[in-house]
Structure 1
Amino acid sequence: MGNRFLCLTHFGRKSGRRYRTVLEVIGLRPRSGEVLAIAGLGPSSDWYRNIQAAPAAEVAIGRRKFVPAYRILGESEAADAIAGYERRNRLLRPVLRPVLSTLLGWRYDGSDAARHRMVQQLPIVAFRPRDEAEPDREGTDR
């Protein structure tokens, strides 16, 4: 699927079992090497909770694989990322807005105010290759 989806390999926070979760890529940042994904079920998403409890093992996207570090985008940066995703995927709008409305529990209309409200509920995570000097656990930017 090229750069449209990534496969996140992570560990269960309670079981320690290895899991693989496929996430849609909502943005690529070539300069920083970051790949953006949204926690579509919110902060209670298992993969999201798992990466906060233990470092993820791998991100695979296209032919690229790396051991990831991550950060959670702040509200303004996350809203800009969603706006960019919507601009790049205009043909998905008839499907995207109803799906987001269902996930959010309120009518998502694609306005700037709605984007800001959405990213308060659905975190956006930026994965990048971890530097060898980084500790095993990664913090978050808020």
Structure 2
Amino acid sequence: MTPSGPPRTPLRRALFRAPILLYRVGLGRLLGRRLVLVTHIGRVSGRPRRVVLEVVGREPETGGLLVASGYGARSQWLRNITREPRIRFQVGHRVHEGRAVPLSPEESGRRLAEYARARPRTAAALMRAIGHEVDGTAAGYERLGADREHGVPIVALRPR
């Protein structure tokens, strides 16, 4: 199965962007701690851009959050933070200034496998939804997380 791309139709785009509206009207706390609003800078426009991502892990040592780029290198937000890593991120009502740091391929693979181990059904459903077939093994998720171009790389959102 070929990985699908970001939503192209106006309806699908609106559905994917609906959580941003919740954050904008002050209702981000309704989304809990599993979703994070990331404000980053557009690499071409230089303007603020927003995306809501699922939190796939935490970094207790840094206070950071881990998020996955479901569309790999095709994700606009990933391309933007690669150019300008300074970000603002919000979980619930808490806002942090910080940096987005793509993990090494090895660490990214390990963290995606940890997420799949902790939430096997959610991980499998998400991978199917974005067009990735994974055999359900830790090694399968590790390969997918380590593939920066076509896989699902992991990025750490670290507060200042």
TM-score (normalised: structure 2) = 0.69
Letter in 2 for 1:118: L
Corresponding residue SS for 1:15: coil
Percent identity reads: 36
Superposed, 1:8-19 pairs within 5 Å as: 8-19=38-49
Residue among 42, 65, 71 paired with 2:101: 71
Letter in 1 for 2:125: V
Greater helix proportion = 2
Partner of 2:90: 60
Report the number of matched residues. Answer: 126
User: RMSD of aligned C-alpha atoms?
Assistant: 1.9
**Which stretch shows the higher mean deviation, 75-84 or 10-19?**
75-84
Corresponding residue SS for 2:86: coil
**Which stretch shows the higher mean deviation, 4-13 or 64-73?**
64-73
Q: Distance in 2 between matches of 1:65 and 1:31?
A: 18
Q: Distance in 2 between matches of 1:51 and 1:15?
A: 13
**1:45 lines up with 2:75 in the alignment:** yes
TM-score (normalised: structure 1) = 0.77
**1:109 lines up with 2:135 in the alignment:** yes
Q: Distance in 1 between matches of 2:124 and 2:50?
A: 29
Structure 1 pair 117–90 and aligned structure 2 pair: CA distance change class (3 A): closer
Q: Distance in 1 between matches of 2:52 and 2:73?
A: 17
Q: Does the Cα contact within 8 Å between 1:6 and 1:23 map onto a contact in 2?
A: yes
- Structure 1 residue runs of 4+, over 3 Å off? none
**Which stretch shows the higher mean deviation, 41-50 or 78-87?**
78-87
Letter in 1 for 2:142: H
Once the two structures are TM-superposed, the CA of residue 114 in structure 1 deviates from its matched residue by 1.5
Structure 1 pair 45–64 and aligned structure 2 pair: CA distance change class (3 A): same
Q: Does the Cα contact within 8 Å between 2:85 and 2:101 map onto a contact in 1?
A: no
Residue among 23, 26, 42 paired with 2:56: 26
Structure 1 pair 109–55 and aligned structure 2 pair: CA distance change class (3 A): same
